[in-house]
Structure 1
Amino acid sequence: MEEDIPGSDDIQAAGMSCEKKSDNLVHLNEDRVYACDNDIDKRLPCGASSDNGGGNGDSSGDDSKSSRSPDVELDKIRRAMCNMVISDGLSLRTSERVGFKIFVASLCPHFNPPSPTDLVKDALNYYKEERKIVEDELQRAPGRICFTVDNMTDDIIEENCTCLTAHWIDCDWNLQKRMIKFETLITPFDEDYVCATIKSCLANWKISNKVLSFTVDKPFYRSSMMVSITTHLQKTNSMVLGGQLFHISCSHEIINLVVVAGLNLIEKVIDKIRSIVEHIRSFTSKKEKFYELARSSFGLDTSKRLIGDTDARWNSTFVMLDRFLYFRDVIDSFVSKDKNIKVFALKQEEWERVAEVFNFLKVLYDVMNTYLASKTQTPNVHFHVLWTVFRKLSDISNGPPSFLFTMAKELHLEFDKYWSDNCLVLSCAAVLDPRFKLERVEYCYEKLYGEEYAREMIGKVKTALFDMFVEYNKVVDKPNNVGYVARGYLEHDDYEDYVAFLSKRSKVEEKSELERYLEDWHSDMDKDTDVLAYWKNNSKRFPCLSCLARDILTVPISTVAWKSVFSTTKNFHCLWRKSIPLETPIVMEALVCYHDWVRARGLMKGSPFYGYNDDDVEEGSEDEFEENEDEDDDGDDEDEGEDGDDEDEDEEEDDEDCKED
């Protein structure tokens, strides 16, 4: 099964397909657009025109600037604009927005923004260039490559889709990932088709011999599809540890299962809380009265505010409950006197249940924020996250009966199964964290299962590590450890004999890298050690073990991007997808992959945006909730939601255009 890559014919076909749609998008409102274009031309600086055709207009300024080739600069701007639209998921109509044209004209009068059709053509050409770079990166990856198979919902076309993403650690010990396959699926999933697609993809990217593991969602875990892929890869790929690390189950699903179960216990109470919060926040007079009561009568810090939540992010619900509990006495007093929300007043039992669920979720909330704050989202960090949640469930299910007892008992069984399936890779990764090593892992198992089982599991983990070390020791090039011997002091025969003597002695007395690493004194356990930086700095000291560590620390434990750990859904959202015909799956795949590559490239070291995390803007945090609330307080909350709806209007316009098309 040969993979389809957009070539010149595909690009031409895509352009023709998109031409019809983009023509409709433009000409549905051509009178308004053309009128605005003429108005823009009148307001442009002298000698500039909005339809200058790529730099043919007159230019002003010093000779040094005009001596540069305008075509080169305009090509860079054109590519940057294409990358902006694709990477940020903007509408293809962005280039024809009046405001955008005015903005571009003020920066570069000689640049004529490309049409939606030309944007797609440009993106497909850039995709072909970038694909060669990604393929070279995968070929040059110094270690094994791990993969995630992620199922998500495309909320633009409302279809299920799956993507294959490659993960590896590069020569500078930075975690890298690139999407290399995207498919729209028709439910029920055809496992044979997905399996054949994955096999073909690995072959076309020429990386079948570098595979270490596959992390998959529940529908595919331990399925016939994964068995078939394993059998296929064993023909051309030596599986590490006999394939024991090949199947990894996504941790996001088990964490979500715990969160949703906890929130469902107080679902009706949460609805009442939402009604109270929404009512108070919707009226400026009532809100002022509420916070004045909290400050004057209860002495509370009113810099904290009541906060609403969103269904898709459970951390927002957690913060809502946190603030609601903080203002508990104020709410009881205020609600009892307001006839509009008196019906939503919480009973004493409901308050206690909310507090109990909140304390349970706080463990997950705190540990997930610790995970987000870590310098690298490697499996050693996942070990701590999952162990903390598992231990909390164990404490509740083994403790006295409580409101959470039945739920915790059921979840404990689910979590125990997940832990049993994935504990080996998690434990090996934790041992390769210089702060923890075997002692920390043994401590964690003892808290979960007791001393006897902990010793048994540590034995299995230690055996697995030493077996893998032997495998890697056979193939990794290492410096000669015999040492330097001055030939001038010995005759030829004596010299050779002496070297043989030293070699034999070193094999008997010298400890392996793994033994020396495990016996080394621990790093400070309170220090936020960058595990990848540690192995980079110690790669010469542990040449073979560092190669093993590189591969183990590459294994992704979740198919979900770290920015989405608080999300209860997995959606893919790009406005430009509305303008791409569904009958051109090759084009769709190319643009989705290019979307991923541009974002990855833009945030890498060396980029001016390295260190900037726009994912925080997408997902939000408690600080952002605070800022949004402060903004609401500055104006009249009765008008809340009337402004800032440009994106929604764009989506509605695109929807209408698609329907008319």
Structure 2
Amino acid sequence: MAGANDMELISTEAPPASKRRRKKSLVWEHFTIEVVDGGCTRACCKLCKQTFAYSSGTKIAGTSHLKRHIALGSCPKIKNQDKKPLMLPGAQTDGNSMDPPKRRYRRSNWNNALFEQEISCGSLAKMIILHEYPLHIVEHPGFVSFVQSLQPRFRMMSANDTEREILSVYQKEKQSLMQTLGNLPGRISLTINLWTTSQTLGYVCLSGQFIDYEWRLHRRMLNFMMVASPHSENALSEAIEICLSDWNMQTKLFTITLDNNCSSHDIYSANLRDHLTNKNTLMLKGQLFVVRCYAHILNAIAQDVMASIHGIIYNIRESVKFIKASHAREEKFAEIALQLEIFSTNNVCLDVASQWNTTYLMLVAAKDYKQAFACLENCDDSYNEAPSTEDWKKVEIVCSFLKLFYDSANVIMSTEDPTANIFFQEAWKILVELTNATRNDDDTVSCIAKEMHEKFDKYWKDCSLILAIAVVMDPRFKLKLVEFSFPKIYGEDAARYVTVVSDALHELYLEYVAQPLPLTPAYIEPEGGANMSNGNNDSNQGTITVSAGDGLVDFDIFISETAMDLHTKSELDQYLEEALVPRIQEFDILNWWKLNNLKYPTLSRMARDVLAIPVSMVGPGCSIFGVGTGGRMLDEYRSSLRPDIVEALFCARDWIQYSPIVSEPPSTTSTVKMEY
């Protein structure tokens, strides 16, 4: 029998005499049992050789402290495992082959020892929200089996439990966003989109667009609510009222952008303006209140112009299908093109009917091969879809018009933060081109152009004031671009329309002047008189720098009052008279206003609200080409869910994919701005 000074290591199996069952805990892959005096045993770590109490007579100490030694990194060998591989039982260090252990220890199991059912349920709910999985995925046998293989301790939720978790995520995210919106430095603009279902139900989606304290543009979905009659005159007004009340923004509404067809837009505009003006303080007497979606008007006109040659487009689409039907036909068509010396960089491609840009690209490529299509029809009896010469002439005309909208849409989509200032340049160029086309000597060109011009001119009349004021807030253009472009649009009446813009601009500015201005650090003119906008500045004579804690607040007020007469020009006039900022490709207008916030404290608040107007309802990074002329369709599955669940799914998905919004102003320095 072994003595106290002659201890022997016991294997992970109990001694045969005790006939105990084999120990199953993973702990015993890292510990052995040592017999000590008095019939007691201790557990010895195979890595660091430390011993721990295990049993004293018939009393067993358990294995929790052994797990902590391994899982929490108390073992010095495991602490260094990032530097040195963990040696497992049976491993050899002499360079020879090792005997693989029967079971491999996975340290991640120990790291996840503190399993939280609630956290996992929340993560599962967010996964369903983000990826638009059906709620009953939690009851799919395959999914349940997969989750159990990862964490057997997780109790799978039912579909009803999943609904509750989704509502919990929605409420938590809503409270966070509500706190942020409550501290916004400016106003918020809404976009309103109509959704329909296969039943008679309808939904209204309201999103808010705004600029935070760090001058970053944000758009967040606010409500996705079911309405009985989404196309009725009162439905949108009621939805907006509910939204403003729900988010405590009754006094912060600036503009709304509608996604309606042209015929009903006037009705909606008048109804909304009259209904909400009595309950909300609208800037500029509501003249800027209703905005029409720029992407919507582009797509509506593009669809109309393509509809004028729908038969020709059908023939071209069928021709491309014929060529793409087999590799032999493609080779034959390529050989014909080579013989005709057609060396186009455009490849014949098939379009996606719901994306008008793909139809445009199909037409552009096809017209380069019009001779090849005619030759193919002569040499292949099975092909008889080649357009005629007159058809190709119409395709040429349509493509020239579609290019205007295609290029404009790409400019908008390529802008990381599509602020309101970028749309004026795009809109007036299209209007001028369409106006000139209506006077074309070719009857086909003028006929197509007149229908397009009528619709786009209606958009221009509704939105030109908003677009013009927005571009004035761009220091690269200011009022100069308006003065340059209006003669091309209005001819001899241009000066009158420029005056309309100028008057509205100054009136809007005065409304911001009338609002209280928060105490902010003072603007200090850089040495040499050069300001942050690379322009000239002689307007800093009304600002001084004082110490925030020198006890001279009354003196500051005295200086403010006595210097009132010295400040003869408003911030707006100073801004307009300064030199334009150079037009560089990487110019960041939001960063420019952030840097000039101290110089133009009142005008910058106006610029913040104006630049945040969602002239296009299509968000950053999304395709403009897929915006249809009507509302979007809710799929049958989501149509079958309760309205509160539908709203939670749509809104929460929008909220949790974004980074936090800056909801507090930056800390002030020791200088303050004196108002004059």
Calculate the TM-score normalised by the size of structure 1. 0.72
State the distance in 2 between where 1:530 and 1:210 align. 26
SS of match in other structure, 1:162: strand
* CA distances 1:126-166 after superposition (whole Å, capped 9, x unpaired): 11111111211221111011112212344x76854321222
Partner of 1:134: 177
Q: Does 1:278 align with 2:321?
A: yes
Cα contact 1:248–1:557 (8 A) shared by 2: yes
Partner of 2:332: 289
State the distance in 2 between where 1:280 and 1:603 align. 51
* More moved, 293-302 vs 255-264: 293-302
Cα distance, 1:314 vs structure 2: 0.3
> Which structure ranks higher in relative contact order (CA pairs < 8 Å, sequence separation ≥ 6)?
1
State the distance in 1 between where 2:455 and 2:639 align. 41
Cα contact 2:210–2:217 (8 A) shared by 1: yes
Equivalent residues in 2 for 1:64-463, closer than 5 Å? 66-68=110-112, 70-72=114-116, 75-95=118-138, 114-154=157-197, 160-186=202-228, 189-218=231-260, 221-223=265-267, 227=270, 229-231=272-274, 233-235=276-278, 237-295=280-338, 298=341, 300=343, 304-341=346-383, 343-450=384-491, 452-463=492-503
* CA distances 1:600-636 after superposition (whole Å, capped 9, x unpaired): x26989xxxxxxxxxxxxxxxxxxxxxxxxxxxxxxx
Cα distance, 1:188 vs structure 2: 7.5
Cα distance, 1:578 vs structure 2: 0.7
Cα distance, 1:350 vs structure 2: 0.9
Partner of 1:483: 544
SS of match in other structure, 1:71: coil
Gaps of 5+ in 2: 1-25, 27-70, 72-102, 523-541, 548-553, 663-676
Q: Which of residues 565, 578, 590 is equivalent to 1:532?
A: 590
State the distance in 2 between where 1:589 and 1:501 align. 53
State the distance in 2 between where 1:581 and 1:501 align. 65
Going from structure 1 to structure 2, the CA distance change for 1:297 and 1:476 (only over 3 Å counts) comes to: same
Going from structure 1 to structure 2, the CA distance change for 1:523 and 1:418 (only over 3 Å counts) comes to: same
Cα distance, 1:263 vs structure 2: 0.5
State the distance in 2 between where 1:308 and 1:240 align. 48
Cα contact 2:204–2:230 (8 A) shared by 1: no
State the distance in 1 between where 2:405 and 2:601 align. 37
State the distance in 1 between where 2:580 and 2:639 align. 55
2:217 maps to a residue whose letter is L
SS of match in other structure, 1:403: helix
* CA distances 1:476-529 after superposition (whole Å, capped 9, x unpaired): 23657353599xxxxxx9x89994785144224xx3221222222222325242
Partner of 2:563: 503
1:513 maps to a residue whose letter is E
SS of match in other structure, 2:382: coil
State the distance in 1 between where 2:556 and 2:312 align. 83
2:234 maps to a residue whose letter is D
* CA distances 1:257-307 after superposition (whole Å, capped 9, x unpaired): 3212211221101000011111111212212332344356536367x4321
* CA distances 1:446-503 after superposition (whole Å, capped 9, x unpaired): 11112x32222222212222222222123223657353599xxxxxx9x899947851
State the distance in 2 between where 1:574 and 1:396 align. 40
Partner of 1:581: 640
Going from structure 1 to structure 2, the CA distance change for 1:385 and 1:75 (only over 3 Å counts) comes to: farther
Q: CA RMSD in A?
A: 3.4
State the distance in 1 between where 2:661 and 2:565 align. 47
Cα contact 2:413–2:623 (8 A) shared by 1: no
Going from structure 1 to structure 2, the CA distance change for 1:469 and 1:188 (only over 3 Å counts) comes to: closer
1:333 maps to a residue whose letter is C
State the distance in 1 between where 2:415 and 2:192 align. 24
State the distance in 1 between where 2:429 and 2:121 align. 49
Going from structure 1 to structure 2, the CA distance change for 1:274 and 1:484 (only over 3 Å counts) comes to: closer
Partner of 2:648: 590
SS of match in other structure, 2:421: helix
State the distance in 2 between where 1:82 and 1:602 align. 19
- The structure carrying a bigger helix percent of its residues is 1
Cα contact 2:236–2:272 (8 A) shared by 1: no
Cα contact 2:196–2:634 (8 A) shared by 1: no
Partner of 1:565: 624
Structure number with larger C-alpha Rg? 2
Cα contact 1:123–1:591 (8 A) shared by 2: yes
Gaps of 5+ in 1: 1-45, 47-57, 487-492, 606-661
Going from structure 1 to structure 2, the CA distance change for 1:260 and 1:299 (only over 3 Å counts) comes to: closer
Cα distance, 1:395 vs structure 2: 1.2
SS of match in other structure, 1:316: helix
Going from structure 1 to structure 2, the CA distance change for 1:578 and 1:243 (only over 3 Å counts) comes to: same
Cα contact 1:168–1:176 (8 A) shared by 2: yes
State the distance in 2 between where 1:351 and 1:603 align. 53
* CA distances 1:569-597 after superposition (whole Å, capped 9, x unpaired): 2565676x616635x32332232222332
State the distance in 1 between where 2:277 and 2:361 align. 48
State the distance in 1 between where 2:561 and 2:449 align. 62
State the distance in 2 between where 1:97 and 1:296 align. 59
SS of match in other structure, 1:208: coil
State the distance in 2 between where 1:81 and 1:573 align. 27
Q: Does 1:473 align with 2:513?
A: yes
Partner of 1:13: none
* CA distances 1:104-133 after superposition (whole Å, capped 9, x unpaired): 677667656644443322111111111111
* More moved, 417-426 vs 268-277: 417-426
State the distance in 1 between where 2:561 and 2:651 align. 57
SS of match in other structure, 1:483: coil
SS of match in other structure, 1:406: helix
State the distance in 1 between where 2:400 and 2:421 align. 25
Cα contact 1:336–1:345 (8 A) shared by 2: no
Partner of 1:553: 611
Cα distance, 1:83 vs structure 2: 2.5
State the distance in 2 between where 1:67 and 1:413 align. 68
Going from structure 1 to structure 2, the CA distance change for 1:309 and 1:144 (only over 3 Å counts) comes to: same
1:265 maps to a residue whose letter is S
State the distance in 2 between where 1:516 and 1:172 align. 24
Cα distance, 1:432 vs structure 2: 0.7
2:495 maps to a residue whose letter is R
Cα contact 1:367–1:388 (8 A) shared by 2: no
Going from structure 1 to structure 2, the CA distance change for 1:498 and 1:214 (only over 3 Å counts) comes to: closer
* More moved, 358-367 vs 110-119: 110-119
State the distance in 1 between where 2:173 and 2:546 align. 51
Going from structure 1 to structure 2, the CA distance change for 1:109 and 1:574 (only over 3 Å counts) comes to: farther
Cα contact 2:229–2:235 (8 A) shared by 1: no
Cα distance, 1:230 vs structure 2: 3.9
State the distance in 1 between where 2:155 and 2:314 align. 51
Cα contact 2:220–2:655 (8 A) shared by 1: yes
Cα contact 1:478–1:544 (8 A) shared by 2: no
The percent identity for this pair of structures is: 29
